[in-house]
Amino acid sequence: MNPCASLLRLYAEHGPVVAVGTRRRPFVHLFGPDANAFVFANSGLFRWREAFDLLVPVNGETALIVSDGADHKRRRRLVQPAFHHRRVDGYVARIAANTGAALASWTPGRTLDAYAELRGVIRRSTVEVLFGDRLAADAEVIGHGLQVALAGIDRNFVAQMMLRALPNPYWRRVTASRAAVARRVDEEIERRRREGGEHDDVLGMLMAARDDDGAGLTRQELQDQVISLISAGYDTTSAAMAWAVYALLVHPDAAERARREVAEVLGDRPPEAADLPKLTYLDGVVQETLRLFPPAVLSARVPVEDFAYAGHRIPAGAMVLYSPYVTHRMPEVWPQAGRFRPERWIPGSELHRPTTPSTYLPFGGGPHRCIGSTLATVEIKTMLACLLRGPRLRLVSPAVTPTSVTAMRPRGGLPVRVLPA
């Protein structure tokens, strides 16, 4: 079943407020910009920990995405500087080098899974730029361990609850895989503490970060932030990257326009940070991909008290869901909503519309907006610029179906054939 199509059908048939599930545990969908704005403006009405409990087996008990209230504010304040735009610009050269190295093996006549190949690049780049060369050397091992855990939380809600409620071999593998990654992260933290000195990467910044009272992140907090940033950094970004490649392959005119722009700006050299603002059409490709294929199809909150919205009473403890995917495909919000039109992001285009946090929300919104959004967009744009300078590709099959609502990706990957030069 295509969960994305089901959400669009739910909105079309029932409107902006839809309750499903049981009376004891209702799931309440709030669709559209007004609903998004309400959720973002009333963050104190909701808890995150219960809504995102299913992510704890991968991300950990203290990760930002499962933190609430004062704990979330403190952790985000300590982590945020590591994702300042100036720091992210410094990552472009490494991302481009890793992408170029992978593309060198894409020889004419070869058939490959572009999603899996680019996912590997993103995983290595994420670990490398955020946490240093020693952890990057183990990127494949870390990725394998996290993938076992990510597969566990990618199952439907009922299946996950059953797996976590009863002892079973599968869930023991999930737990053991996450624990192995945690041990590797702990080893790196301990090694840095023994060696002393400064490290100019995100882990170094996290270890050095201090509150006003001089307190830093605990060992558990450090471990959870590192693991959650690695898993989120490559899981959702690789999903979006796959859709960007798919969109360009099924829209050859857009691909050719982007290719010409990249050639004009870069010539024969790889992209640098200073080039990215000049690639305005390619930026539109990235933004349009995130509009049509936002990695997080749904996001959730659990209200701490009863509240009313649009004439409906929603009880405390319900699972309240809003959908970037549905919002991004509403024709009343986006002209030609179902079409891939990168030019809509260029001011002066007839399709251009100013966006707001409630109409365009590929990274969520409010105090819990994804902390790595800038890194994700820079990484996708850099990799696309490299890809557009590289080999031409053709989809093995144009029939691609989305799967998963936590990191929407192409079901079965993205098989492509590398064409002769």
pLDDT at 185: 87
Domain ranges of the chain: 3-418
Residue 370 assigned ligand-binding role: yes
Residue pair 329/293 in contact by the 8 Å Cβ criterion = no
3-state helix, strand, coil in the chain (%, to 5): 55, 10, 35
pLDDT at 106: 96
Instruction: Name the CATH superfamily for 3-418.
Output: Cytochrome P450 (1.10.630.10)
- Taking 70 as the pLDDT cut, the residues of the chain under it are 1, 152-166, 421
Q: H helices then E strands: how many in the chain?
A: 17, 12
For 278-412, where are the E strands, in sequence order? 299-303, 307-309, 312-314, 319-322, 393-395, 402-403, 409-410
pLDDT at 150: 75
- pLDDT for res 155: 62
Pairing of β 26-30 and β 319-322 = parallel
In terms of residues, how long is the chain? Answer: 421
Tokens standing for residue 292: 């049509």
CA distances from 239 to 54, 122, 393, 407 (A): 20, 10, 18, 6
DSSP 359: T
Task: Return d(Cα 297, Cα 27) in angstroms, integer.
Answer: 15
How much is the pLDDT for 86? Answer: 77
Q: How many CA atoms lie within 13 A of 140 on its CB side?
A: 3
**Pair type for strands 111-113 and 415-418:** antiparallel
pTM comes to 0.92
- Which residues neighbour 348 within 8 Å (Cβ) at sequence distance 6 or greater? none
Token pair 């519309």 is found at: 353
pLDDT score for 38: 97
